[in-house]
Structure 1
Amino acid sequence: MADVNKLLDEAIKETENLNEGEMFLVKELFKGYIWNRIPRKDRLLLGTLFLNQVNKMDGKSIKAIEKTSSNQQKYMKF
């Protein structure tokens, strides 16, 4: 599988296709079969790296908003 930094770049790039005000999970930025092929440990790491990247953006275009009942971080595009 691709390395996690490459997956992070793909996820950040995919957010450009979202509409303003749209809420999403990191896994929704990938096609289902691609997400399922990523090992669980890499998916967890990707989620952490994505959150860190969003926090570095200082809420300019994407903001972490809440967690789902299954403890997945939700984001919103601004």
Structure 2
Amino acid sequence: MIDVNELLEQAIRETEKLNEGEVFLVKDLFKGYVWNRIPRKDRLLLGTLFLNRVSKMNDNLKAIEKTSSNQQRYKKINL
């Protein structure tokens, strides 16, 4: 299985393909079958790492509200 840090970098690269103003979940950055193959514990860790990366970096990504299922939503913004 692929390393969680590699998955994080892959997710960050995928955000470059998003349009300004798009709202997304981390799982949206992966094809469905790829996301489903990631063990649950690694998906949870990936979500935490992604939130930390977005929070620490002055990037064009912003954490917004959580969904009803407690998944963090993000928005691509223009700096």
TM-score normalised to structure 1 length: 0.97
Partner of 2:66: 67
CA distance, structure 2, for counterparts of residue 65 and residue 46 of structure 1: 17
Task: State the SS of the aligned residue for 1:17.
Answer: coil
User: Size of the alignment, in residue pairs?
Assistant: 77
Partner of 1:41: 41
What is the percent sequence identity of the aligned residues? 77
Partner of 1:20: 20
Kindly report the root-mean-square deviation, in angstroms, between the aligned alpha carbons of the 2 structures.
0.6
Q: Structure 2: any 5+ residue segments left out of the alignment? A: none
Task: State the SS of the aligned residue for 1:12.
Answer: helix
Q: Following superposition, which runs of at least 4 residues in structure 1 exceed 2 angstroms of deviation?
A: none
CA distance, structure 2, for counterparts of residue 65 and residue 57 of structure 1: 15
Task: Report deviation, 1:57.
Answer: 1.5
